[in-house]
Amino acid sequence: MTDFVLAINSGSSSLKFGLFAETNGDETPFLQGEAEEIGGTDSRLWLKDAQNHTLMNEGLPLATQSLALDEAVKALRRFTPNARLAAVGHRIVHGGPLLREHQRVTAELIHKLQSALHFAPVHIPASIALIQATETLLPEVPQYACFDTVFHRTMPETSTRFALSDEMYKKGIHRFGFHGLSYESVLHQIGTDLPSRVVCAHLGSGASLVALRHGRSIDTSMGLTPTGGIPMATRSGDLDPGVLLFLMRTEQKNADALETLLNHKAGLKALSGGETDMRQLQTRAEQGDSKAALAIDIFISSVRKYIGAYAAELGGLDLLIFTGGIGEHSQYVRERICDGLDFLGIRPEASGRYSKVKIVPSQEEAQIARLCRRLLRSDAG
């Protein structure tokens, strides 16, 4: 009987999941689905099979991630009643300085996650809640935590350090980097054809870039938290620290108010006057909306700046990779970014594509399954 791995990928208002089987040495999706608009009035759950046929697409009251997981497990049981689960893998955005390895979920791991709440107060509580919900729903199945930060452990100290004291560094105030599972999945798909000097841009509602030398992360745009780097859908990206001091002094904003501002009311949403979807921004810009056009311009300029900086750090550029929802699907954004990079040898070709550019899908759920399978074998000795 096939042993499946259930991969769970939690977002701010969504829950992606996939049931994977090992085929020819790699993980193959058997069923994949997503709970969307969690906590909203239009939440729904859809599920597709390996041939991309829709098995269900239903509006459901999904107030929390845990309720969404409960409905997802019910759906999986409905369509695969005899499936045997070997493991459940969770994408964990941030584990703080004490959790820098993919590993099995234990009571000690939960304790370390709880001690790291201040590193990612938006993400970590939701991860803990999902792990606990999974324990209730699937008590006999081992769980594994797959951290987005692990991929960036190869960064040198010149990239991880902020210009702060050793004492601050020892407390964990340094650049961790994120989207590691996405980057790992991209490298897995490219395989041995990866050249030595690469920049990969994961562009979606959350967005970051990474500089890769021989497939290893040497620098990345996100820092201590997933708020840093380029402007995103609702996140500010990098700011002059003085901006925060100014807001604290003149508007008496406390940490919670700043958290809400930087993660939920900034980025494209703030620049455009409320819109976060790149497709809608493009439509509005084409209709003469100057705010939408400005939001797009700032986003594109920020991405291009990082590409140029990382090319300088790498001593040149052999390949630029786009992944993530915007990176994979928005030809408009890709072209706008690439049009300023001819000095790096990125030029339009007759095919309509650009030289030195690849588009590779992000496969975070498949990567979680690969890591879980590897850890299962390691645990088995």
Active site residues: 148
32 and 6 in contact (C-beta within 8 Å)? no
Residue 188, both tokens: 């897995």
Cα 225 from Cα 206, distance rounded (Å): 12
CA-CA distances (angstroms) from residue 307 to 10, 30, 238, 281, 316? 28, 36, 16, 23, 10
- Estimate to the nearest angstrom the gap between the alpha carbon of 168 and the chain centroid: 26
226 and 235 in contact (C-beta within 8 Å)? yes
234 and 265 in contact (C-beta within 8 Å)? yes
Helices and strands, number each (H, E), in the chain:
14, 13
Token pair 């890769």 is found at: 212
Residue 35, both tokens: 């709970």
CB count in 10 Å sphere of residue 53: 8
The dihedral through the CA atoms of 312, 313, 316, 321 has a sign that is negative
Cα 195 from Cα 49, distance rounded (Å): 34
Which spans in 230-266 are helix H? Answer: 241-250, 255-264
> What is the DSSP track for 289-336?
-HHHHHHHHHHHHHHHHHHHHHHHHHTS-SEEEEEHHHHHH-HHHHHH
CA-CA distances (angstroms) from residue 103 to 89, 129, 152? 10, 18, 16
278 and 333 in contact (C-beta within 8 Å)? yes
CB count in 10 Å sphere of residue 274: 10
